[in-house]
């Protein structure tokens, strides 16, 4: 049997999200070898032999390239169907029949689950495969843990300085629409949300690169480098799902900062079911958590209610992560998960 692993192209503007590669590393843990890197947005490309592949992650920039080629034998777990692509994919009977043939489909979030069940596809909530990264990357001895604190793309959708570093072409349209003149608001929000003593100690990391900053052959190396840093950190503060969820798996105290564009409707549908098991810091002016936030995030805090000296992760994800481990292991060793 041959085995495939998902790979990713940069966006048309040349940017790369290393969180995608972290998701592939979660799948790679279960494979005896990787025979071919298969691009997520070109799954219909012919394969000369059957390849098993764990199909976790975000789909897709190119819904026209569905359904996948017949020589791809998939296990759909931690599957996220982007809200912009869902209508195109699920309005095509071939795609619906394809997903039915490989059901039940494990969904990363509740919105994907809803999309699939509404068209008669057998599906269930599986959670995210990156919460099983402890299989390879968790410290065997906690004495290896450092005092390092990392800020990883906190409120990255409002960090215009970083956006312009990676995509300078956005400066002119942002000047026209006024966003450019709000580029200092991000720093003020960070200073309001996170204590000064933590900010002074923290190092900044990012998942967001331009192709000129990162060669194709080093993308997976960069993803592993970040995972090893997260595994040894004292605390990680982030607005990246695929930084926060790996930290959950690795036993590293983590705070997910909500806001900064992540509260838009298209982001809310992506997050519900994905960050339910994280400590979520809510950016709120009144200092109180709204009922809506409590419904969205079971472990929600404000800057006034969170105890920065005693961050403890929830453990209510473990049963879901164990089921994912069992499913992927069975798929690789026996057949279907």
Residue extents of the structural domains in the chain: 2-130+319-333, 134-301
Q: What is the mean pLDDT of residues 83-97?
A: 95
The Cα-based distances of 267 to 55, 157, 307 in angstroms read: 21, 11, 27
Residue-level pLDDT at 170: 87
- Give the length of the chain: 337
Beta strands in 158-251 (DSSP E): 203-205, 208-210, 235-238
pLDDT band, very low/low/confident/very high, at 198 (cuts 50, 70, 90):
very high
Residue 260 Rama label (left phi>0; alpha psi -120 to 50; beta): left
Q: What is the mean pLDDT of residues 320-330?
A: 97
pLDDT higher for 99 or 273?
99
Say if CB 245 and CB 130 are below 8 A apart: yes
- The pLDDT of residue 334 is 84
pLDDT tens, residue by residue, 297-321: 888 898 888 999 999 999 999 999 9
Q: What's the rounded Cα separation, in Å, for the pair 151 and 63?
A: 34
- The residue behind tokens 């192209």 is 9
Residue 196 neighbours by CB under 8 Å, 6+ apart: none
Model pLDDT, residue 157: 86
What is the pLDDT at residue 152?
A: 98
Q: Supply the pTM of this predicted model.
A: 0.93
pLDDT tens-digit readout, 234-290? 999 999 999 999 999 999 999 999 876 666 666 666 788 888 999 999 876 555 566
Query: What is the CA angle 249-253-258, rounded to 5?
Result: 95
Share of the chain above pLDDT 70, in %: 93
DSSP 8-class letter at 261: T
HSE value, Cβ hemisphere, 13 Å, CA-based, for 160: 18
Distance CA 77, CA 69 (A): 18
């Amino acid at each position: 049997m041959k085995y495939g692993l998902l790979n990713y192209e940069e966006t048309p503007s040349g940017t790369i999200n290393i969180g995608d590669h972290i998701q592939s590393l979660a799948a790679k843990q279960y494979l005896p070898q990787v025979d071919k890197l298969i691009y997520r947005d070109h799954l219909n490309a012919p394969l000369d032999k059957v390849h098993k592949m764990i199909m976790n992650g975000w789909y897709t920039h190119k819904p026209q390239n569905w359904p996948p080629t017949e020589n791809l034998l998939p296990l759909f777990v931690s599957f996220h169907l982007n809200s912009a692509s869902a209508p195109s994919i699920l309005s095509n009977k071939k795609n619906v029949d394809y997903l039915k043939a490989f059901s039940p489909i494990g969904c990363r979030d509740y919105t994907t689950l809803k999309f699939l069940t509404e068209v008669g596809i057998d599906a269930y909530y599986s959670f995210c495969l990156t919460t099983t990264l402890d299989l390879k990357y968790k410290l065997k001895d906690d004495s290896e843990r450092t005092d390092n604190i990392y800020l990883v793309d906190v409120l990255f959708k409002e960090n215009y300085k970083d956006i312009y570093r990676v995509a300078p072409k956005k400066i002119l349209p942002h000047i026209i629409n006024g966003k450019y003149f709000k580029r200092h608001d991000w720093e003020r929000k960070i200073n309001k949300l996170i204590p000064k003593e933590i900010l002074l100690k923290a190092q900044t990391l990012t998942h967001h690169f331009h192709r000129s900053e990162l060669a194709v052959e080093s993308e997976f190396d960069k993803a592993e480098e970040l995972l090893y840093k997260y595994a040894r950190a004292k605390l990680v503060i982030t607005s990246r799902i695929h930084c926060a969820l790996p930290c959950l798996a690795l036993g590293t105290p983590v705070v997910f900062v909500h806001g900064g564009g992540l509260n838009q409707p298209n982001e809310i549908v992506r997050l519900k079911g994905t960050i339910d098991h994280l400590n979520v810091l809510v950016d709120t002016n009144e200092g109180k958590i709204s009922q809506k936030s409590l419904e969205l995030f079971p472990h929600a805090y404000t800057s006034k209610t969170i105890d920065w000296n005693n961050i403890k992760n929830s453990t209510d994800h473990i049963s879901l992560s164990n089921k994912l481990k069992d499913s992927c292991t069975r798929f690789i060793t026996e057949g279907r998960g």
